[in-house]
Amino acid sequence: MKREKILFSILLTVLVSFNYSCSDFLEEEPGSQTSIDEQLSTKRGIIEALNGTYASIESNVRGERFAVYADTQGGNITFTPSMSGNSQGQITVPINIEKVYDFQDEARTSDFKSFYDESYDIVNQANLILNYVEALKDATTEEKKQMTAEALTMRAYAHYLLNLVYSQNYSFASQANHLGIVYNTSIIKDGITYPSRKTASETYDLIITDLSTALSNFTNSQLQEGPSYSYFNAINAKAILARVYLSKNDWQKAFDTATEVLQTSGVSLSSTSNYISEWEQQEVPISETLLEFSLPTDAEGDTGGSMSAYFGYTSLLDYEKYVASQDLLSLYEANDIRNQLYLKQDLPTLINDDLENLPYYFTKKFQGNAAFVAFRLSELYFIKAEAALQLGQSEVAKDNINIIKARANSTLLTTTENLEEELLLEKRREFAFEGHLIFDLARHQKGIVRTNGCISQNCNLNYPSPKYVLPIPQANINLNSNLQQNESY
C-alpha cells in the first residue's frame, strides 16, 4: 500500500528534541513550498500529514537499530559470516550496532542518535496535526475526533519507545522517581523551550493520559485506505495501553485492559495448523496481527524496505547478518512447532584460518517483503498472565501461558511453581525477533546472559546496570543544558 510522505522538510530540518534551529522554520515557511498553515488547513492535508507520520514511524521502528536491538542485546540474535572477499567466513558485529552490542555506546557518537532524533520528529509531526485539527472547516466532528485519536496515539507510542530505550524500568527507583524522558506536547511555532526530562513516573502518566484521551476519541470510521491493522485504532491503541500499564506495574489495569482486548478485538489467535504458514507468507501479516506498519511502496508497487534486509536468506551468495543464537534455539522442545520457524543453512565460517561449513538459523518470520509487526494478539495473553501472577492469581496466569504453549504443541504447565521464569521463557520463545527481550529482562530485573555465538568482550550484564539504557546523544544535550545525561555516559 502506497503512503505518500508529506513534505515536512520545512520543519524536519529542525528537531523538537532540542537539536534544532528555529530560524530554519521561520525562514522557509513563507517560501516556495506549501506552508504548514496552508497544508494543515484542510481535511485532505491532515490525512496526508497523518500518512506521512505513519511513514516516519514505520521507517523508525523498521530501522536496523531498533528492529534488532531488544533481541540482539538480550541474546536471541547472533551474526552470520561474511560471504566473500578477504573477510570471507569472518563474523563481525554490524557497524550500526557495534558499540551498543558491546554495552559501550557513547553519547558523542551514539549508534542510536538517528532513532532518538527521528522519534522526536514523529512527536513533533503529531503535535502539529493536533494543533490544526480542531480548526478544520471541511471535516465533520467525527472525522476530527478520529484524527485527534490517531495523532495522540502516535505521540504516546513514540514517547513510549523512547522511554524503553532511554529510561530504566519503572521499578528501578523508589516511586519511579528516576529519570524518564522529555515529553513534548508543544510545537516549534510556539517558540524555543529547553525542558528537562520528566521522572519515569511522570512519563508514564503522560503516556497513559494521551492513550486514554485517544481512546475517548476513536470512532468506527477509518480515514485512510488499506487494512485497519496498518493504522492506530481503538483496538490496537487499547492493546498498547495494556502494555504500558504492565510496564508501569499497574497490574489490575493491565489485567483488565488485556482481558477487554481479548474479548472485543474480533481477532482470533492464529491456529496451530496455520501458524507456520502464516509467518511464511509474503506481504500479508500473520492473521492475529493487531498493528503492523505497512511498508512504503512506489507507483509500481515495489517496496522501499523490508525487515528481510536484516534477517533474509536467498542463497549462499545472498543472505543477511542476523540469525538465531543457540541460546534461543536450545529453549524449544523437539516437538514445538516453532522450531519450524528457523531455516537452517550451512555457511562457510573461518575457524583457525580454515573455512568450515557451520549451521546458521534464519528466522522465517521476516523473509520476503516483511513489515514490522508492532503488536499481535498473543501478547495480550502474556500481559494478562503476568498481571495475574502479580495479583496472586497463579492459576489464571498458568492457564494463559498454556494457551500459547498449546498452540505451539509444547508441554503444558501443570503446576504454578517457578511461574515467573516459565512466563519469561515462553514469551522469549514466542516473540523471538519481534523486539521484546531486553525490555522484558529489565522489567523483571534479570541479568543478560549471552553465551553461544556472543562475540563481544562484554557478553553478560548483571542487573542493575546503567547499561540497560542508552546515552542521550551529546549533540542534543549541547543544545539544551537542561537535558540530563544517563548515568555512566
Taking the C-alpha atoms of residue 443 and residue 167, their distance in angstroms, rounded to an integer, is 11
Give the pLDDT of residue 26.
26
The answer to whether the CB of 55 falls within 8 A of the CB of 154 is no
Report cis status (omega within 30 of 0) of the bond before 466.
no
Cell of 387: 498481571
| CA 103 – CA 372 distance, rounded (Å) | 25
- Which residue type, as a one-letter code, is found at position 158? A
Helix, strand or coil for residue 392?
Answer: coil
For the chain, percent of residues with pLDDT exceeding 90: 88
Q: What is the mean pLDDT of residues 88-110?
A: 98
Instruction: Give mean pLDDT, residues 286-299.
Output: 92
Which among 174, 182, 178, 172 has a CA at the least distance from the CA of 200? Answer: 178
pLDDT for 199 beyond 60: yes
Omega of the bond leading into 464 within 30 degrees of 0 (cis):
yes
Q: Predicted confidence band at 303 (pLDDT cuts at 50, 70, 90)?
A: confident
Set of cell numbers at residue 442: 529489565
Q: Are the beta carbons of 39 and 45 closer than 8 angstroms? A: yes
Distance CA 134, CA 145 (A): 9
The angle subtended at Cα 100 by Cα 96 and Cα 102, nearest 5°, is 115
- Taking residues 173-183, report their average pLDDT: 98
Model pTM score: 0.94
Regarding predicted confidence, which is higher, 26 or 148?
148
Q: What is the mean pLDDT of residues 149-176?
A: 98
Angle between helices 378-390 and 234-247 (to 10 degrees): 30
pLDDT one-digit tens code per residue, 366-425:
999 999 999 999 999 999 999 999 999 999 999 999 999 999 999 999 999 999 999 999
CB neighbour list of residue 351: distance below 8 Å, 6 or more residues apart:
89, 358
430-441 pLDDT per residue, tens: 999 999 999 999
Q: Identify the residue with better confidence: 481 or 105.
A: 105
Cell of 216: 475517548
| pLDDT of residue 300 exceeding 50 | yes
Task: Please report the pLDDT score of residue 341 as a whole number.
Answer: 98
In this structure, what are the phi and psi dihedrals at residue 8, rounded to the nearest 5 degrees?
-90, 15
DSSP-based three-state secondary structure for 296: coil
* Cβ-Cβ contacts under 8 Å for 393 (sequence gap 6 or more): none
Percentage of the chain modeled with pLDDT above 70: 92
For the cut 60, the answer to whether the pLDDT of residue 2 exceeds it is: no
Q: What are the residues whose beta carbons fall under 8 Å from the beta carbon of 358, sequence distance 6 or more?
A: 346, 347, 349, 351
pLDDT surpassing 90 at residue 306: yes
Distance in angstroms (rounded) separating the CA atoms of residues 93 and 72? 10
Q: Which helix (H) or strand (E) holds 484?
A: none
Q: What share of the chain is helix, strand, coil (3-state, %, to 5)?
A: 50, 10, 40
pLDDT one-digit tens code per residue, 327-368: 999 999 999 999 999 999 999 999 999 999 999 999 999 999
pLDDT at 191: 62
Q: In this structure, are residues 89 and 37 in contact, taking their beta carbons and an 8 Å threshold?
A: no
Under DSSP, the state recorded for 434 is: S
Torsion of CA 318, 322, 327, 330, to 10 degrees: -40
Which residue, 320, 329, 325, 311, is CA-closest to 81? 320
Q: What is the spatial distance between Cα 257 and Cα 274, in angstroms, rounded to a whole number?
A: 27
Bin 198: left if φ > 0, else alpha if -120 < ψ < 50, else beta: beta
Whether residue 280 is predicted with pLDDT greater than 80 in this model: the reply is yes
pLDDT band, residue 282 (cuts 50/70/90): confident
pLDDT at 314 over 80: yes
